[in-house]
Structure formats: C-alpha cells, structure tokens
Structure 1
Amino acid sequence: MEDRNTAMIVLLLLCVTAEMQVDGLSLDVCASCHPKATCDDKSDGSGKVCNCKYGFVGNGRTYCQDKDECQIGASKICGLHTDCHNTQGSYFCTCRSGFTPSNNMDVFTPNDGTHCQDIDECTVTGVCGEGGQCRNLEGSFDCSCILGYEVQNGAEPFHPHRDKASCKVVDCGRPEAAEDTVLLSVSGTTYGSAAMFVCEEGFVWRRGNNRSVCEADGLWRGGNMSCEEVNCGPPPAAPHSLRLWDQSSRPGSRAIYQCNSGYHNVGKGNVSKCNAAGEWERPPLLCKDIDECTVTGLCGEGGQCRNLEGSFDCRCILGYEVQNGAEPFHPHRDTASCKVVDCGRPEAAEDTVLLSVSGTTYGSVAMFVCEEGFVWRRGNNRSVCEADGLWRGGNMSCEEVNCGTPPSRPSLSQAVGPELQAGLQGDLSV
C-alpha cells in the first residue's frame, strides 16, 4: 500500500514539473506582443498576456488594428451638431457650420464636457445687407426685407452667403397721371415719395385725392382725383374688368368693358353709353370668378387645386412633396410640381440586415432580421416610408449569441487531497 502511494506522488510531481516547464515557456509571451500592444499581467496572476493599446482592437499578438470610434455616429460619440474624425488609435471632433465649440477650440474630444453651441450670426452688423432683417436659426440664419425694401434675385427668406438674393429699396417708378390729370410735382420714386396732381386744362377737380404715395408693394396709392369736363366725364369702372374708351365724354360716346383674366361676363352686355343727361349708363357687365379647379388634373399628379379670386393655386396632397419650387404654386406660372415622396433605400440598424422592402415611396414597408450570430431581443422589425421622406417605426435591437463562461476544471487540491497540498504548494513556489 505504501509503495502504491509513493508511485502516485511521483506521478503527480512529474505532472507538476511538466506544467512548470510549459508555464516557463509562457514567460516569453511579451516578446510576441504586437507593436501596438502592451504586455500585462493576467488578472488571476497566472502569467502575462498581450493586450492591444487604447484605440486598437485585435488578439494582441498577430494583429492590432485601428478602432474606428466614429462608426457609431458623430452624434453619439461627439454630441449634437458635430463631425467625427477618426485617427490612428484615436479620434477628434469638430463642430458643423453654424456652431462653435463651448471651449473655443477648433478640435476637441467630448470627455471634458465640450459641446457645440449655436452661433448667433445676427450679432454681426449688416450681415443681411442694406434693408435686410436677420433671423437667427439653429445652426444658421436667414434674412428678410424690412418695410420699404423688396427682395431681388430670389425669394424670402434667403441666405446672403448661399443665395444671390438681396434687399433693394422699393422703387415705384415715375408716377403716371390719371385720366385728365397732369403731374404737378414728385419728391422721388422710392418708398415714401409723394406725387401731386392737377387737372388738365379744360377739366375741373370733382372728387378724390390729388396726392399719391409710393407704398411698400411698389405701387403709387392714394391718388384718386377725378377731373371732369362739363359733360359725362370718364365712364365708371367695373370690378374685375378692363375699360376701353376713346376719351370722348360727349353724349353718345361709348365705353367697352372686358373682364380680366380669370373672370367671365355673366351680365347682359359690355357697353356703357354717355346719355343726354351727361351721365354714363351703369356698365351692364358682371365679371364672375372662373373656378379653374373644375378642370381635372390641373395641378398634375399629387396636386390639389385651390380656387382664388380671379386665379388658383396648387398644393401637394399627403404622400407627395413639391419639387422645383414651393407651395402654393401655379402650374402655368411656376416650374414647381408635385412628386411622390421617396424615402430612398432603407438602412439596416446595427447587427441587422434588410429582409424585404416593398418599395421606396410613401407607404412602402421594409422588414429587417438580425444578422447571423445575433438574436432579436426587443423593438419593431417593420419600418414604413412616411410623408416626411423618412423611414420610421423600425427600432429592433439584436444581441450577439453568447454561451456564457465554459465550465472550470478541478483544482489541484481536489486532485491530490489535503495531505499533499502543503508540500506541492511549497515546491511550486520554488
């Protein structure tokens, strides 16, 4: 029995010595570390291990490659309104146009609390030019014209650095004298200028105002004086119509009326006569608005017509968006039209792949599944193309399949028993 125990002890000592020799070879593991790795002590104190340096990923020995921190998205790693720039072993952040870092540095990393804040461009005097009024926006600004100025080479609001538009003072041009009147004086032609009128020779001022002012819409307004001969005078105006007249106010003279564009005559005629009593007959025409929206397809595919007084305009229905212009638009005057909303090809979230998609336009549906090696844990795997041109609804989250920690082997004390544990530990420490 004693010989058998002695043989088992010798066998165990040989096994321990073999393990020490193998472990002795592991002392050279630091020489095999990759240049981008460090040689560190194992957490359990059993030896050394090669770990890739910060900013690199790999096995620490055969390869350590740069970790692209920016791939998770600039807003996640750098914050809102930023761009992320990957470097070898690290990264840095910059603010997008219209924003400035809170630490006033061109580049930064967000670990010190730095964030991008809006620049108020409107604090710069004259940023919108003469007659321009600045409005600060999140990350930008735009301009509009103050009273007495109008936009040129574009539309409001506009951006002076991006658009050709600017503000110019309203110019009404030289005022035109009304029928049977002449211009007496004018202080100018721009906004706020005033013009004075008098009746032509042989006419007398009967009613109205002889002073006209250049208004913000570029028109002379307020001057409505009326001069008359000792006869019928000028024929009366009719709403929404053009008057044709040979300037004669003698009895028997005729005035012809034509409805303006967008109106048609539903009255009993279009001629007014100067009678013997020196008065014009009431114009018999009645100009009524034409409802252009009764014409099918007037606004094109996806367009919805809205009738206006003497005209009409168009807007896009749900699922369509305006192109080459803005709403509302006029298909005969503008280049704008409606096109169906297109969300483009849907992008798969992290660890997912696109299973199917019915299309890319409004109402289309895309289905996603997890990549191989991942399982669906939460969220919705169905995304829909919405009216704003974005895919919405798909928020599925996939997690990598993980079997957990492998089972451990028996400890040395369990293998040899408590009698030999102290002696073996002494030999191992040597």
Structure 2
Amino acid sequence: MYFSCFSDVDECLQGDPGPCGYHANCTNTPGSYLCSCFRGYLMSAEGCKDVDECVLAAVTGLQACGSGAVCTNTPGSFTCSCPAGFVLALDGHNCVDVDECNFEESCRRELGNVCENTDGSYTCVCQAGFREHRAACVDVDECVEEQHVCVGRGECENTLGSYRCVCQRGYRGNGTHCTDINECLSGDHGCDVNARCGNIIGSYFCQCLQGYSGDGHSCYGQSEIPIHAV
C-alpha cells in the first residue's frame, strides 16, 4: 500500500502583488485561491480596475454627489466639491448655500444699506447716496455727478452717502444762501494800522495811507522804511 501526501500551496503568498494583483484581497482555498476587489474597484480580465463613480452616476442616474456639487473621481473612490458661495454639507455629498450676509462688510450695513442673501451669492440694496457696484455699496460723489448741486457762492463738499454746501471764502451762510463778509467791519483782515481797508465782494484790499509805503499789510513811514525795501 502506498500513500502520497500533498500539502496545499498558498498562492496568495507568492510574489508581489500576488496572483490577484493590486487593489484586491487574496483568499487561499484548498488547491486554489479567490480574489475580491477592494471597494471602488471591479474585477476585469486585467485584474481589479478603478470604478469611475462620477461617470457611473451619470450613466445610471444615481448621483454620486448632490445637486450642484462637482464630482471628481479618485482611485477607489470620489470626492464632491461645491462652487463659490456654497460649502459641502456634513454628509460629504450635498452643497449648502453660504449666507454671506452673516459676515460680509461690503454693503456697509452700518450706514443703513441692506444685504440680501441669494442662492450662492448676495446682493446689496443701497440707500440714497450709495450705488451698488460689484456686490458692494459705494459712495456717490454728488459734487462730481451733480456739478450744480450747490448754487451761487456755495461750494460742494462730498461726504459719505451725502454732500454738503459750504460758502466760499469771504462769504458766510449755510452754503445755500451766502452773503459777503465785510472784513473791514468785522476786523477779520490783515491791513496795517496805517492802511485803509476796502471791502469788495468776497474779499477786501489794503492800501497804505498817504505818507506811508508798503503793500497795505505792512506800511512804513519814510523814516521807517527797512533797508531791504529801499
């Protein structure tokens, strides 16, 4: 009587990456072995191949990522990303709108403007004196855009969200109604004590008295003329 003993060969231990190749689990069986692909891979004649979940979803209609999200295939898996104005939800598949009005500063809400959230963005509702420009409320320079907003002797000064009219130098008033200042009567002039002050509209002039020389702001008698003035 003859006996022959055969010991099983564990094919899974032979070589690298082994008989199943990469991306697969090898399970030894009596006289053979079994291959099972990792998750995200499918068995083919060449071994386990990556499944493009993004393409598969488009073919089957089963969305890998939620509506509005961008699917990107990766080895054995996929990732979902969201466009600007959205963030990925905790489930990793869906996009959630970002309410920019919770943190934006471009609308200048402290000045009375309003921020309105929209799907993926926001808009500014600007009050009078501001203009919406590139999702921000910017000041309108009324002095440039409405050049005759101040009349008469008033001059326009732009302010944030508005403007004001101020009287020109030599005039007083509220900027809308300006009257000439008589500097000679108010004493708000620089004439020498030996000069005559003459008021003119919006200004004044100084003229040295007879017997004095100078520009009216500085007048000298004949014996007082400084050397540099001779």
TM-score by length of 2: 0.49
Greater percentage in strand = 2
Structure with higher RCO (Cα < 8 A, 6+ apart): 2
TM-score by length of 1: 0.28
